[in-house]
Amino acid sequence: MRLSVEQSLPVRPDELMELMSDEEFVVYRASVESTTVEGSVVDPASDGSLTITLRRTMPATQIPAQVRAFVGSRLEVRHVEVWEPPQPGRWFGTVAVEITGTPVRMSGTVSLAEAPEGCTVTYDGTVTASIPLFGAAVEEAAVATLRTVLDAEEGRVRAWLAGSR
């Protein structure tokens, strides 16, 4: 199932990438409601590339009830973004999200570009759930959950930029 989320942020792209190299910012951004960040690694390289790895837990309430028995009451989610070295005015990367211990994955791209009011971050990918009979329902729930989390992260970035963290 396809997932596409666009975030418009009031910050220059190079400033946002600098923030994303700061582990405190990354953890703050990822600490959305009902989510606990269990671990994070921010690994900037000398060529300007950047790898961000997050491990967090969240309630399984968005997962269909008939599948929840297989995953438990909390989900452990691993989120990895690998950003390539910057190109003039643009940054590109890959993103992978997996629910540990389940056959549910999201893989795709992430991009950052200049915009009139700051920058635009775009996540574009595919969510798959290799679960017989319930795969489509789980994919739909996973897409909705990822969209909610990414929207909440946009709010956290805006709060950080406004100094109200």
CATH code of the domain in which 131 resides: 3.30.530.20
Q: Average pLDDT in the 75-90 region? A: 92
Query: Which range has the top average pLDDT, 67-76, 92-101, 126-135?
Result: 92-101
What's the pLDDT tens digit per position in 115-165? 999 999 999 999 998 877 778 888 888 888 889 999 999 999 999 999 876
pLDDT number for residue 88: 84
What is the reported pTM?
0.90
Q: Which domain holds residue 73?
A: 2-162
Of the chain, the percentage scoring pLDDT greater than 70 comes to 93
What's the pLDDT tens digit per position in 19-39? 999 999 999 999 998 889 999
- Measured between alpha carbons, how far is 12 from 161 in angstroms, rounded to an integer? 11
Contact 84, 49 (CB under 8 A): yes
pLDDT number for residue 51: 97
What are the contacts of 62-69 at 24+ separation with CB within 8 A? 62/141, 62/142, 62/144, 62/145, 62/148, 63/138, 63/141, 64/134, 64/137, 64/138, 64/141, 66/134, 67/131, 67/134, 67/137, 67/138
The count of structural domains within the chain is 1
Q: Under 8 Å CB-to-CB from 58, ≥6 apart: which residues? A: 34, 35, 36, 74, 75, 77, 145, 149
